[in-house]
Structure 1
Amino acid sequence: MISTILLVLFLGFYVLYSTSKKVTIDPHFRIENIIQQNTKTAKLIGLVFLLITLYLMIQILGVASGTLIFFIALMTIGSIIILLAPLKYITYKNLALFFVLSICIEFLLF
């Protein structure tokens, strides 16, 4: 469950990151072109994803620790996106591989 929540957090921050005018988009990714063309809707979707993530973290972990873990995860994932997105390391294949790996580790540990 935590892996899915972190994926939604990643998607929310990435959508908000992609709405920036300074971001150079890759023409191969159709989603990024749509995000750049519809910035108001994309910002709303990104904020909804972040709010859903915050709500789910609070429901699972409690108010104090859920909020703390949300902001820690937001800072960590945000830093990763800001560092790796300009280098074009964030692809759908890499994201899917990381998600499947984290789901497997989550099931093995819990």
Structure 2
Amino acid sequence: MKTVTFLIIFLGCYNLYNSSEKAYSADNLAFQKWFQHTKPCPKITGLCFLLLGMFLAISLLGLSAGIITWIVATSLFLSLITLITPLRVVNYMFLTVLCMLTLLIEYFF
């Protein structure tokens, strides 16, 4: 459940990054083009993902630990997205494998 919470927070941060005007525009995928061309909708979905991630973190970890975890995860993901996305170091296949691996580790241990 923690992996799903962090994935939702990551999706919210990525939506907000791609809907920014100063973002590095790499139009590799269809949803990235959609984020760049429609301005209000990705910002709303990004904020909804972030709020959903916050509510999941609070329900999973408690009030204070959930809020602190959400703040740390949001800061971490926003800074990593800002630094790594223009370099094109990490691709979507790597992120998918990493997410599946962490889900398996969380499920079995």
TM-score, normalised to structure 2's length? 0.93
1:17-41 CA distance string (max 9 Å, x none)? 0111122322321111100111101
Question: 2:19 touches 2:35 (CA, 8 Å); kept in 1?
Answer: yes
Identity, % of aligned pairs?
A: 30
Does 1:70 pair with 2:70?
yes
Aligned to 2:103: 103
Aligned to 1:57: 57
Gaps of at least 5 residues in structure 2 are none
Deviant stretches of 4+, over 3 Å? none
Inter-partner Cα distance in structure 2 for 1:27 and 1:36: 9
TM-score, normalised to structure 1's length? 0.92
Q: Helix, strand or coil: the match of 2:15?
A: helix
Inter-partner Cα distance in structure 2 for 1:92 and 1:84: 13
1:32-86 CA distance string (max 9 Å, x none)? 1100111101000000000000001111111111101111111111121111111
Number of equivalent positions: 109
Give how far 1:16 is off. Answer: 0.1
RMSD: 1.2
